[in-house]
Amino acid sequence: MGEPIRVLVTGAAGQIAYSLLYSIAKGDVFGKEQPLILVLLDITPMMTVLEGVVMELQDCALPLLREVIPTDKEEVAFKDLDIAILVGSMPRREGMERKDLLKANVKIFKSQGAALDKYAKKTVKVVVVGNPANTNCLIASKSAPSIPKENFSCLTRLDHNRAKSQIALKLGVTSNDVKNVIIWGNHSSTQYPDVNHAKVNVKGKEVGVYEAIKDDSWLKGDFILTVQQRGAAVIKARKLSSAMSAAKAICDHVRDIWFGTPAGEFVSMGVISDGNSYGVPEDLLYSFPVVIKDKTWKFVEGLPINDFSREKMDLTAKELTEEKETAVEFLSSA
């Protein structure tokens, strides 16, 4: 066994973290040979709750978990990190304008970006989960100029997994039989779940999803809406936001960064748009199809984009541009 890696999870006393920490600590993400130190950051009022989480992690008696460090101090949390998973953010409260939500989060992610810049390894991989995830991720990156922009990504894997699963359910196959769905754009209800390039294994034969499903109006209508609004549907049913599925998606996302994507498959993640060939404006944190090798992602190039897709891709880019403009205004005053 090698040296332990340092992994930070923020919002560590919250419900997504509660589903996530066990999977990381038992080796589902970085492999069964990789020891780790878990650093858990949350706000001061949550420290007592966090102590309970630490007790439970100790009680799991996990061989890979070398140390657990609970803290409410950024200088402790961000020191020498290999991976930062930023789950904590200001949640939207009832009656809260999106603008107010952005303002509160700009403050948090400016501060955490600066702490990454100051204390973390320059090779740190940063994954932003807390919403609005794309814009929070962009703000963190802009606040950490000494860390490469490419090291920052935000989670759209939950949307990706939701899309995959809807196709599998429709066809009566397992989600493993479906590959190369794409989530374009923002992790919001303007995201565009695209299956024009997706393949499905039906009775041992790989076919395009449109060909397999033979129901274009469902694929262009209810399928897209279901994926876009799935988070809200879970909240309506459970009175709590998706935690189990979010934690699973975070594990998938980070594991793919660490070990790479399987041959012939691509995944969706929010990354910096600079240099893309899909007409998405530069300097946006936008979800694209990517392949990953040696801990480095690359855009999947050369996918033909039809008019239906173009319109949806532009719409979500427009929303992200507006969010960014509002956030950057707040950034100068935060």
Is 238 known as a binding-site position? no
Torsion of CA 102, 106, 107, 111, to 10 degrees: 160
> What gap in Å lies between CA 329 and CA 332, rounded to an integer?
6
Is 201 known as a binding-site position? no
SS3 38: strand
- Spatial contact of 36 and 82, defined as CB atoms under 8 Å apart: no
The residue behind tokens 């984009």 is: 305
List of E strands, the chain:
5-10, 36-41, 65-71, 83-86, 125-128, 152-154, 178-179, 182-184, 192-194, 199-202, 205-208, 267-272, 285-293, 296-299
> What gap in Å lies between CA 277 and CA 327, rounded to an integer?
25
Is 178 known as a binding-site position? no
Is 291 known as a binding-site position? no
Is 129 known as a binding-site position? yes
Total residues belonging to the chain: 334
Is 98 known as a binding-site position? yes
Distances (CA, A) of 233 to 154, 189, 226, 236, 238: 22, 12, 9, 5, 9
**What residues have CB less than 8 Å from 196, skipping those under 6 apart?**
209, 210, 303, 304, 306, 309
**154 residue type, one letter:** C
DSSP letter assigned to residue 280:
P
- So which residues are the catalytic ones? 187
- Spatial contact of 14 and 42, defined as CB atoms under 8 Å apart: yes
**What residues have CB less than 8 Å from 293, skipping those under 6 apart?**
260, 261
Known binding residues are 42, 92, 98, 105, 129-131, 162
Sequence ranges of the binding site for NAD(+): 42, 105, 129-131
Binding-site positions for substrate: 92, 98, 131, 162
